[in-house]
């Protein structure tokens, strides 16, 4: 069941880059990390920024689909984590970092954490239903807010707020 998305939060490329770098600052104190596992597709961009900032060269992806353009549906693992990263997560002296753009209901995050139980889970944005699931995040937004990421947007006319309120 999805929570109705009554508010919107558009994020520009500049803002997303700043927020991803802010997350890297927080993660620097938690590391060093041996590898990043980004949850595709949303985790690809912050993972690239964080990998650069923290000097991490091993980057893996896990592909989990649960959204269409607006609603959350059934979870499907389209590409699992590589065995070499699973072994790294199971090692005593290594640290794996899971990166995603957002934790919303926690459905995707829980699935990936089950694959990598010892990993540090970090997201750029977090919503209240799953905020406690992540170890690190930068900005909390309300559960009823839909975040428009820069890769999902195009330049177009935006009506004044007063025109869109309906009252």
Active site amino acids: 100-101, 104
Separation of alpha carbons 97 and 43, rounded Å: 11
What residues have CB less than 8 Å from 15, skipping those under 6 apart? none
Closest CA to 133 of 154, 153, 103, 162: 103
Separation of alpha carbons 127 and 148, rounded Å: 14
Separation of alpha carbons 104 and 126, rounded Å: 6
**Is 81:64 a contact under the CB 8 Å cutoff?**
no
């Amino acid at each position: 069941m999805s929570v109705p998305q009554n508010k919107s939060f558009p994020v520009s490329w500049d803002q997303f880059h700043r927020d991803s770098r802010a997350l890297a600052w927080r993660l620097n104190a938690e590391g060093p990390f041996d590898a990043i596992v980004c949850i595709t597709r949303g985790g690809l961009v912050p993972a690239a920024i964080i990998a650069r900032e923290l000097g991490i060269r091993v980057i893996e992806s896990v592909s989990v689909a649960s959204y269409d353009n607006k609603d959350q549906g059934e979870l499907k693992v389209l590409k699992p984590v590589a065995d070499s990263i699973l072994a790294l997560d199971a090692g005593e002296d290594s640290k794996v970092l899971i990166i995603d753009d957002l934790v919303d209901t926690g459905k995707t995050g829980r699935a990936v954490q089950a694959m990598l139980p010892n990993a540090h889970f970090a997201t750029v944005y977090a919503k209240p239903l799953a905020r406690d699931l992540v170890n690190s995040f930068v900005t909390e937004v309300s559960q009823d807010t839909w975040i428009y990421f820069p890769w999902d947007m195009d330049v177009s006319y935006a009506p004044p707020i007063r025109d869109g309120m309906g009252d």
